[in-house]
Chains A and B, each alone.
Chain A
């Protein structure tokens, strides 16, 4: 019998099967940020076990609140910084070099096909875009990962979603994943891995695959996975060229993590996205999804473009195409947070930052900030935000605020008018 991608990765990493299908796997990377790691560090210190299983496999960033906004967040940064230093963790990204974890770490080549990755962050599923098994965990799992380099999971069950057809102009990976979550529900993939396949996924750039996998957890999934292909190899080439004689050789090696045709799935879903319209959420749950056209005209107070879902260069390019030559409405304030310094710099070189500024956007440093209502754009009670982030829970961006999730194109169009607007009105995409 064939195996799914997650099964292949698990079988190559199994350390122990202590009970039933519980599988303790060896970890290739443990990612850390300043919100969920400090308590693990404090606990390790308290236990007299202030050490790490392998300093080269631990990657650390301060991203959620940066620069620190108060004494407490400054202390979180300090705990992380001091710990990284005394444990000789060289991949530590402090302000100036930091960015949103799930955008920064892929950019550094830390996510690879076949890898097992954990992080104390639910959107760790993003890294599955590289054909890795990457899962969000709590602080205790993280603590054991840091100390022992292992983590326990149920042996993975998978759902395959075959996405075929041709996306219309103005419809993006974000619209695809929102429509999928709308269909599956917030609980539709709980305890499952989602494999995203089909010609639409094959045609996607790594950035779009990351957008897709990023929101897998909003349907409850442990991880979203795309098969490694030449797109993956090209993205990673600068990091792996010492390991392989050619890109073809790398691809051949990575093929071992493609699911077998006769692999067993819990469910196989076929989706033709050719007639899909731009989508957005309307409530406090990510599965409350409607076409943007049905929500058009709803006033917004703030527009936010950024996050690990849609703060990458291609997202900024898409928004800039809509914004170019326009100004945002006087009734809104708009914020863009390029997800990493590299993205920021490239956007600057391409003139994209200028377009945002001319339109009236505030450009912030790379950070999560507003996405989780911590800093850089917290909503007031009763305010509405058109946002490219991934979570619209009640209070997510500020107590009493409403968050509508959408693509960068829709968010940019909504910034121009001051109300929910289909980007088609503004988008100037050549053929």
Chain B
């Protein structure tokens, strides 16, 4: 199973699309590793500099409809090769979410209120998230603040994470 804990990268906007996560011009690469330098290259967001702000981060916290647009699995891969295996948001585009779990990664949905609360209390501060996959909860810490948040993922998504992805799961079952 992959690691779902570590420093948080905040992306405070809804509808961040897969072209912003990894621009189409890099889709000519035939290996996942080659995508590493280009993650979020085209994301224009106040206070965000992809060249400085990605390194050392392991979890993304964002708003709604994350990963909309193209079906490119290069988007989860670009996160994966940067050691980011979990994205937390209000909601995700269908294909992006499925791609994350298909790779044994996690796209975790929390209520808009909870997401807003996290942004208000932790946004802009050095923040870490410690995830306990078994009990489906995480502890979020920032500058003296600490809170336990319970999340839920479906039985299928849980099985995909445990097996390491959909290829492994399907190979066993079909």
A140 an interface residue at 8 Å Cβ cutoff? yes
Q: How large is the interface on A (under 10, 10 to 19, 20 to 34, 35 or more residues)?
A: 35 or more
Partner of B71, one of A18, A39, A122, A147: A122
Q: Which residues of A contact B24 (CB under 8 A)?
A: 372-374, 396
Closest A residue by C-beta to B104? A140
Stretch at the interface among B3-11, B87-95, B121-129, B134-142: B87-95
Contacts of B25 in A (CB 8 A): 373-374
Interface of chain B residues 25 through 83 with chain A (CB within 8 A): 25, 27-32, 42, 44, 64-65, 68-73, 76
- List, in ascending order, chain B residues with CB within 8 A of A396's CB: 19, 24
Q: Which of A120, A147, A220, A372 contacts B93, CB < 8 Å?
A: A220
State whether B20 touches A394 (Cβ < 8 A). Answer: yes
Q: Which residues of A contact B166 (CB under 8 A)?
A: 140-141, 144, 152
Report the separation of the CA atoms of residues A19 and B174 in the bound assembly, to the nearest whole angstrom: 15
CB distance from A44 to the nearest CB of B (A): 9
Residues facing B in A41-71 (CB within 8 A) are 42-43, 47, 49, 64-65, 70
List of B residues within 8 angstroms of A122 by Cβ: 69-71, 95
Does B30 lie within 8 Å of A39, measured CB to CB? Answer: yes
Bound Cα distance from A350 to B44, whole angstroms: 45
A289, chain B: closest CB distance, angstroms: 15
Candidates B68, B94, B103, B165; contact of A222 at CB < 8 Å: B94
Of the candidates A18, A36, A150, the one whose C-beta lies within 8 Å of that of B156 is: A18
CA distance A24 to B159 in the complex (A): 14
- B residues 142-174 with Cβ under 8 Å of A? 154-156, 159, 165-167, 170-171, 173-174
Give the interface residue-count category, chain B: 35 or more
Q: Which residues of A contact B65 (CB under 8 A)?
A: 186-187, 190, 220
Closest-CB distance, A158 to chain B (whole angstroms):
14
Expressed in whole angstroms, the Cα–Cα distance for A42 and B73 within the complex equals: 14
List CB contacts (< 8 Å) of A261-320 with chain B.
Answer: 285
- Output the nearest chain A residue to B44 by Cβ-Cβ distance: A394
Q: How many angstroms between the C-alpha atoms of A391 and B19 in the bound complex?
A: 10
Which chain A positions have C-beta within 8 A of B30? 38-39, 42, 72, 75-76, 79
Q: Assess whether B68 is in contact with A395, with CB atoms less than 8 Å apart.
A: no
Residues in A with CB closer than 8 Å to B156 are 18-20, 22, 152
Is B85 interfacial (CB-CB < 8 Å)? no
B102 sits at the interface (CB 8 A): yes
Which residues of chain B are within 8 angstroms of A120 by Cβ–Cβ distance?
Answer: 71, 73
Provide the bound-state CA to CA distance between A43 and B102, in Å: 14
Task: Indicate if the CB atoms of B170 and A391 lie closer than 8 Å.
Answer: no
Find residues 118-137 in chain A having any chain B CB closer than 8 Å to their own CB.
Answer: 120-122, 124, 136-137
Query: Is A191 located at the chain interface by the 8 A CB criterion?
Result: yes
Residues on A with beta carbons closer than 8 Å to the beta carbon of B20: 393-395
A43 and B167 within 8 A (CB): yes
B167 touches A187 (CB 8 A): no
Residues of B contacting A191 with CB < 8 Å? 94
Q: Which residues of A contact B155 (CB under 8 A)?
A: 19-20, 22
Q: Does A4 contact B (CB under 8 A)?
A: no
Q: How far is the CB of A401 from chain B (nearest CB, A)?
A: 11
Most chain A CB neighbours (cut-off 10 Å) among B19, B93, B170: B170
Kindly state the separation between the CA atoms of A222 and B156 in the bound complex, as whole angstroms: 19
> Known contacts being A76-B28, A140-B103, is A220 close to B167, with CB within 8 Å?
no
Which of B23, B73, B95 sits near A395, CB closer than 8 Å?
Answer: B23
A394 touching B91, Cβ below 8 Å? no
- 3 cross-chain pairs, A with B, having the tightest CB-CB distances, nearest first: A138-B99, A138-B73, A140-B102
Other contacts beyond A79-B30, A187-B68, A393-B20: 5, CB < 8 A: A64-B27, A137-B95, A140-B73, A220-B94, A391-B19
Which residues of B are in contact with A by a Cβ distance under 8 Å?
15, 17, 19-20, 23-25, 27-32, 42, 44, 64-65, 68-73, 76, 91, 93-95, 98-99, 102-103, 154-156, 159, 165-167, 170-171, 173-174
6 A–B contacts, CB within 8 A, in A order = A39-B73, A79-B30, A124-B71, A187-B64, A394-B20, A396-B19
